[in-house]
Amino acid sequence: MSYQSNADLGGQDVRDAIVMEPEGDLFHAPWEPRVMALVVAMGPTGLSNIDMNRAARETIPNYRDLSYYEVWLTALEKLVLQQGVLGDAPPPPKQVLRAELVAAAISKGSAFSRTPAGPARYALGQRVRTIAVQPAHHTRLPAYARGKAGIVERVHGAHVFPDTNARGLGENPQWLYTVAFDEKELWGERNPKQRSTISVDAFEPYLEPA
């Protein structure tokens, strides 16, 4: 069974024109900040994490037809059903994010860097190739960048690995790299005069020597 993700939209034609919105317009309806508050409040309960949220959002069948916060709300509904939060005996939360703690919690954020289990396999300037495998689960390597060769342009240290964290299988820290690709490598010869570089953050299990 293949895993279809709406994070794999790079290089695809869109049906309608992209309309730019003014900077600073965070919400467009009164219900939108409420949805954001619910998503933020669910994190400390231990019943979801950022990778579970991303996996839920990116697999919504009608993703492209929904607004930004409609995507958030639909994914939240999926998660609470999966976790049994709406049942007769919901699991107890690890922590309750009370109103007076919200501002401090958001300002503090969450750190995702971790102590690596071993040395980095790849170095700056090294040529690598992304794996061509399409996994049957959530991944942060988009389909358009699979099986492509690029150059390591930055080493970020070890971070929480989304592929396992999204499935509740633990953080499994992995080295994270920024890999630079020539646009021709990703999209083919669409415009011979244009030579852009596309950078993708890729975890070590996504890579192999080129």
The mean pLDDT values, 10 residues at a time, for the chain of 210 residues are: 62 73 89 94 90 92 91 95 86 88 83 94 98 88 94 97 94 97 86 80 97
Tokens describing residue 182: 């020539």
Q: Are strands 174-182 and 197-203 parallel, antiparallel or unpaired?
A: antiparallel
What is the model's pTM? 0.86
pLDDT value, residue 1: 41
Q: What is the pLDDT of residue 21?
A: 81
CA dist 91 and 43 (Å) reads 14
Distances, alpha carbon 127 to alpha carbons 53, 90, 123, 149, 202, in Å? 32, 49, 9, 7, 13
Residue 56's pLDDT is what? 93
Tell me the C-alpha distance between 175 and 161, whole Å: 9
The predicted structure's pLDDT at residue 8: 67
Q: Which residues make Cβ contacts (< 8 Å) with residue 17, sequence separation at least 6?
A: none
**Under 8 Å between Cβ of 76 and 38:** yes
Tell the residue number behind the tokens 């750190």, with chain if given.
111
User: Domains of the chain (ranges plus CATH)?
Assistant: 31-108 (no CATH), 113-209 (2.30.30.50)
Residue 128, phi then psi, degrees to nearest 5 = -135, 165
First to last CA, the chain: 28
Express the helix, strand and coil content of the chain in percent, nearest 5 each.
Answer: 30, 15, 50
Nearest partner of 72 among 86, 84, 58, 57, judged by Cα: 57
Identify the pLDDT of residue 116: 94
**DSSP SS3 for 79:** helix
CA 183 from centroid of its chain's CA atoms:
22
